[in-house]
């Protein structure tokens, strides 16, 4: 792993110990980490020319984007933050009021400007809130009532990283934990695959669950 900064997760608002443990667990699992190093060029044959003057022969290269570039160019500029391109949303996850029909448009996940670290858990929770507000909007419109939408909370910086057979976890209330227990607690024994299946209401064997409908 080649990283241009002096620490991993350098742009995230996390404790230094979190970043140190991340590096430690990566190296424990056999990953060689090169800090303060950039890739100047990738030449034919998979060879990398580094900023340190060294070269590395590789069998494959995966380029990772450090700074996100959201795919929001198709949206009205009034909906976007001019510096980041992220969608500006209200607590109800709607577009800004400057956008026509803003109450009929919702945005969630990595493309929105919101507090906290962009991560899967936040996106899933946003999805639940957006689905709830869509339903509330439809019901209110059908009944000719004023809609009261659910408001998504501000999110403090928090993160869990699975690193080999261990994990590093930080929560502002509970502090920093690391080791095997946080891995099992957050990801189970399959890196969270079963958690995703349950969110999608799919059985662990991949078959769709039976739906029982009771007659009234």
On whether the CB atoms of residues 40 and 49 are closer than 8 A, the answer is yes
**Residue 69's pLDDT is what?**
81
Q: Is 170 helix (H, G, I), strand (E, B) or coil?
A: strand
pLDDT tens for each residue of 119-174: 888 998 999 999 999 999 999 999 999 999 999 999 999 999 999 899 999 999 99
pLDDT tens for each residue of 7-56: 999 889 999 999 999 999 999 999 999 999 999 999 888 899 999 999 99
Report the pLDDT averaged over residues 78-100.
95
Pairing mode, if any, of strands 166-171 and 175-179? antiparallel
Is the confidence at residue 2, as pLDDT, over 70? yes
Which has more confidence, 208 or 100? 100
Q: pLDDT class for 210, splitting at 50, 70, 90?
A: very low
**Residue 182's pLDDT is what?**
93
Q: Tell me the CA end-to-end span of the chain in Å, nearest whole number.
A: 60
**Domain ranges within the chain, ordered by starting residue:** 77-157
Q: pLDDT class for 66, splitting at 50, 70, 90?
A: low
**Helix (H), strand (E) counts: the chain:** 4, 8
Pairing mode, if any, of strands 87-88 and 112-113? parallel
Q: How far apart are CA 94 and CA 108, in angstroms?
A: 9
pTM of the model: 0.79
Q: For the chain, how long is the longest CA-to-CA vector?
A: 75
Q: Minimal CA–CA distance to 129: which of 112, 113, 153?
A: 153
On whether the CB atoms of residues 26 and 33 are closer than 8 A, the answer is yes
Q: Which residues of 105-138 are buried (b: 16+ CB within 10 A; e: fewer)?
A: bbbbbebbebebbbbebbeeebeebbeebeebbe
């Amino acid at each position: 792993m080649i990283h241009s900064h002096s620490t991993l997760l350098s742009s995230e608002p996390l404790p230094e110990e979190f970043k140190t443990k991340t590096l430690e667990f990566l190296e424990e699992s056999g990953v060689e980490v090169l800090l303060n190093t950039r890739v100047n060029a990738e030449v034919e044959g998979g060879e990398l020319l580094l900023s340190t003057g060294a070269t590395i022969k590789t069998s494959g290269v995966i380029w990772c984007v450090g700074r996100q570039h959201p795919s929001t160019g198709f949206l009205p500029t009034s909906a976007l933050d001019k510096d980041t391109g992220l969608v500006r949303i209200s607590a109800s996850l709607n577009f800004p009021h400057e956008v026509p029909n803003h109450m009929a448009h919702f945005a969630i996940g990595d493309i929105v400007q919101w507090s906290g670290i962009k991560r899967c858990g936040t996106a899933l929770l946003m999805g639940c809130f957006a689905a709830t507000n869509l339903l509330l909007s439809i019901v209110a419109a059908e009944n000719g009532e004023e809609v009261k939408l659910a408001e998504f909370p501000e999110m403090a910086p928090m993160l869990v990283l699975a690193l080999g057979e261990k994990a590093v976890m930080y929560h502002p209330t509970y502090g920093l934990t690391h080791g095997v227990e946080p891995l099992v607690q957050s990801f189970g024994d399959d890196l969270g695959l079963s958690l995703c299946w349950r969110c999608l209401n799919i059985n662990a064997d991949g078959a769709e669950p039976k739906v029982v409908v009771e007659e009234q």
